Each structure stands twice: as C-alpha cells, then as structure tokens.
C-alpha cells in the first residue's frame, strides 16, 4: 500500500513542480530587466556633515535627500 501512495504523491507534486519550474525560468529570464533603474544610477550622495562631526550643515538639501531615499 505504501508504494502507490508515494507514487501518487510524486505525481501530485509533478504538475505543481513543472508549473513552478516554468515560472522560475520566466522570472530568471526577466530578472535583469527587473532591477531598479536607480541601482545603476548616479552614486549615492552622502549626508552633509560639518567638520566637527554629526552636525548637518546643508539644511536645504535634507528634504531632497529624504525624498530621494524614500523612492
């Protein structure tokens, strides 16, 4: 009795496995085009800080930076 059950389970997983393989293949083919454009864009700007450390000296740019990082 054990053998047919195991075979049956393999068959049951088979259809799903083939489906998963197709989906995986399609995603793998597309994965390069799925990369975010920003990942290869200009280098990330560093937060402007003063020489004495930790003090933000360029306040007008902070909002822009926050918006950029939230994208």
Partner 1 sequence: MSVVNYGTREITCKIVYYGPGRSGKTTNLQHVYSKLPEERKGKMVSLATETDRTLFFDFLPLDLGTISGFATRFQLYTVPGQVYYAATRKLVLQGVDGVVFVADSQSRQMAENIESLQDLHANLAEEGHDPRSIPLVMQYNKRDLPKSEISTIEDLDETLNFRGVPHFSATAVSGGGVFETLRRISTLVLSRLSAPAGKA
Which residues would be at the binding site for partner 1 (CB under 8 A)? 12-13, 15-16, 18-20, 22-24, 26-28, 30-31, 33-36
Is the CB of residue 49 less than 8 Å from the CB of residue 55?
yes
CB of 64 to partner 1, least distance (A): 19
CB of 22 to partner 1, least distance (A): 5
How far apart CA 14 and CA 8 sit, in angstroms, is 10
53: alpha, beta or left? (left if phi > 0; alpha if psi -120 to 50): left
Task: Pick the closer one to partner 1 by CB: 15 or 52.
Answer: 15
């Amino acid at each position: 009795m054990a053998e047919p059950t195991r075979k049956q389970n393999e068959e049951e997983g088979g259809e799903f496995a083939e489906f998963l393989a197709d989906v995986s293949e399609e995603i793998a083919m597309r994965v390069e085009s799925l990369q975010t454009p920003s990942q290869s864009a200009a280098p990330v700007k560093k937060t402007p800080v003063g020489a004495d450390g930790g003090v933000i000296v360029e306040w007008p740019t902070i909002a822009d930076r926050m918006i950029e990082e939230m994208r």
